Amino acid sequence: MFAEKLSSMLNRLLKPQPKYITVAARPDGAAPERMLPPDRMPAHVAIIMDGNGRWAQNRGLPRSAGHASGTEALRDIIRASDDWGIQALSLYAFSTENWARSKDEVNALMGLLLKYFNSEIDELDEKNVCIRILGDIDGLPEPQREAVERAMERTRDNTGLKLNIALNYGGHAELLRAAQRLARRVQAGEMQPEEITKEDFEAELYTAGLPPVDLLIRTSGEVRTSNFLPWQTAYAEMIFDPVLWPDYDRAHYLKNLREYAARDRRYGGVKGETCGENTEENS
Ligand code: FPP
């Protein structure tokens, strides 16, 4: 045991660590993008993919065409996240409020969802991607529910990119669900209310076991978070990119990651001071 630990420590020390993560040759033959220092990469990125409707409208197309084009962008961004070693990617695909859209639009989105899971699952599994659905799966139509359950089951032991797709998701509903699950545990005599910790609460969220969101990106220029991962984004850096989602590509993503890397994250503290340092200003 000790020998194993020592050898892994030595390996880490002796192996030169990359100064930058670089992206392998791109399919279009363009030069690999120079990436960010690994310690400046976000572990968990969440994206609100907004602007499909406007993209379609600008072209005189039905809204469903915007969603179809948005699915292509989603494919590309999932691959980029995998290529670039992002640990977790959470995508807001369908909110609990989206049921209020026209029947045609909801059907189009559900159709795309089914098509996506059926056509991509082999490649995602091959790439060691672990799929998780955030949201109330029981509220989905039967074929979609079965498809996402199959995808989760098939990829559950994969150790690569953690791909979380929010479907029939609402942040308030998620928080209420967590509170109710904890209340049941209290009622069953498993714990006292005052014993409930932050970790207990997080274990009841759809994102249990995932790192908190480091970076939240929303496209289309809207500046709000629309009930997406309210607990998990408490300390997230936020970027509101004006580009409409179907036009969002690796170059935009890389630009957003660079902006994130340049930000100074303080988590409510003061830069350069540790909690033990009481200066005149902060004591
Ligand atoms: C918001 O744009 C986008 C959505 C409500 C759907 C997002 C879905 C996808 C990108 C594709 C389907 C997902 C999967 C997993 C296959 P909007 O329609 O509100 O745009 P608007 O604000 O311009 O009207």
Q: pLDDT digit string (tens) for 102-146?
A: 999 999 999 999 999 999 999 999 999 999 999 999 999 999 999
183, pLDDT greater than 80: yes
Average pLDDT, the chain: 89
Residues 74, 52 contacting (CB under 8 angstroms): no
Question: pLDDT by residue (tens digit) across 159-168?
Answer: 999 999 999 9
Residues 159, 128 contacting (CB under 8 angstroms): yes
Q: Nearest-CA neighbor of 72 among 249, 254, 242, 222?
A: 249
What pTM value is reported for the model? 0.86
What pLDDT is attached to residue 34? 62
172, pLDDT greater than 60: yes
- For every residue of the chain, which 3-state class applies, written as one string? CHHHHHHHHHHHHHCCCCCCCECCCCCCCCCCCECCCHHHCCCEEEEECCCHHHHHHHCCCCHHHHHHHHHHHHHHHHHHHHHCCCCEEEEEEEEHHHHHCCHHHHHHHHHHHHHHHHHHHHHHHHCCCEEEEECCHHHCCHHHHHHHHHHHHHHCCCCCCEEEEEEEECHHHHHHHHHHHHHHHHHCCCCCHHHCCHHHHHHCCCCCCCCCCCEEEEECCCCCCCCCCCCCCCCCEEEEECCCHHHCCHHHHHHHHHHHHHCCCCCCCCCCCCCCCCCCCCC
Q: Which protein residue has the closest C-alpha to ligand 1 atom 18?
A: 53
What pLDDT is attached to residue 22? 55
The CB of 93 under 6 Å from ligand 1? The reply is yes
The CB of 214 under 6 Å from ligand 1? The reply is no
Question: pLDDT by residue (tens digit) across 50-59?
Answer: 999 999 999 9
Query: 101: alpha, beta or left, given left = phi > 0 and alpha = psi -120 to 50?
Result: beta
Of 215 and 273, more confident: 215
The CB of 71 under 6 Å from ligand 1? The reply is yes
Q: Which protein residue has the closest C-alpha to ligand 1 atom 10?
A: 70
Residues 168, 174 contacting (CB under 8 angstroms): no
263, pLDDT greater than 80: yes
Burial of 188 by CB count in 10 Å (0-12 exposed, 13-18 middle, 19+ buried)?
A: exposed
Which of ligand 1's atoms lies nearest the C-alpha of 95? 5
16, pLDDT greater than 80: no
Pocket probe mutation, ligand 1, options 48, 57, 67, 101, max atoms within 8 Å of Cβ:
67
Question: pLDDT by residue (tens digit) across 216-249?
Answer: 999 999 999 999 999 999 999 999 999 999 999 9
What pLDDT is attached to residue 280? 39
From residue 17, give the alpha-carbon distance in Å to each of 31, 37, 111. Answer: 22, 10, 44
The CB of 54 under 6 Å from ligand 1? The reply is yes
**Backbone dihedral angles phi then psi of residue 131, each to the nearest 5 degrees:** -95, 135
